Structure 1
């Protein structure tokens, strides 16, 4: 899959992206570089849970997921957010096909190690790469919502979007994964000023998590990035989606955001 890269984006980030971002996606598709998009949607899930009066909490950056919470997660991610992204891509003139990890057994999952604390949260143990390749070969960008199915085919699992994107990248054998966020990259305070680090290694990240420089929602992002750097995946790039033509800059110039290197 040399003509592909995996792009992970949060649902709230995607909702705020300018039309020029989607025009950039269209240009890349026309140039034969097909993005495989894996998305989240945390804020929209929180909002819907609140409206329905369903309590939800986070444990170590993962949403504690009961069957009731999972119903909402699936409805919001696979329904609302997934279709909103597909509509925006198609409005730009590009071609997209939305699906979730349940469709065609796209993502096989098993309970995470701390399932006793977080409930129905899954780790990806298999990806139907042939299905993604088939969609790409038909000229469509796959847009994937991170819900997985257990090996019995009956139990659904909520999968962290960063973890899901890393697994898709690894199983597809792409060289690069791009994480589109609302921050310019991994930041470090130098002489009282916050600067973006152009590149970091696993040792740098471990040190910055231990010191508290990387915290909150950035921890699962960088941990998933590290998990993803296996097989053919040699780098993960964290970028700010509001930067004009940011994807083209990453793929063609390489001078934007933070690269996490093997």
Structure 2
């Protein structure tokens, strides 16, 4: 069984026909997402790339506790974004400029002013943002990013710029926090080279590794994990994995790390 995860290219009207290296869109296609099918050995995490030529909808996700309370099982969604490419002036909308109540948020969602009330953060490659559940967010134009998330497809859409898609205002207002995003706590600048802890739980772990993992990082990954190459060719259980791919390793011992390679390591936490 190959270690490399199957790749699914997803066409979206808001996607891009010219993708950052090493990706290439098929002729005439606008690729919005590249998904790596979650492996049976690590089903709780989903890794994907997102590429935008238009603003994505303003949305919010519930917590595990909120979906369990609705009888949906553990379907909460927390996620994080690492910017890999950005056009000049590209932004992410996360949280609000000032606290906002549920009634005002609903009204702003209906009349479109929610976009103006949100905080839009200008981004460059290497920006990293953790997005807790209940955080109102949107991805702007000209952004390419890696998303690592809880493997859930529950999204409550609050505003969609007049596109003819369903909104989920009752469900969204029940979980959305009209708060200012804690940039100092949830944002990091990730160097092109060097190792760094990006997410330290409680739902999943994510680390950038340059060369071989340090003992401290290796201790965080005692069993199955995902390998997401950024620079250099990696070998996982005998399979070569290049940047733009993702692989399941049953243990770190089965991964050959190039001396100058850079990759992300990820695993879900027990829960």
What is the TM-score of this pair, normalised by structure 2?
0.27
Greater fraction of residues in strand? 2
Greater fraction of residues in helix? 1
Task: Please say which structure displays the higher CA radius of gyration.
Answer: 2
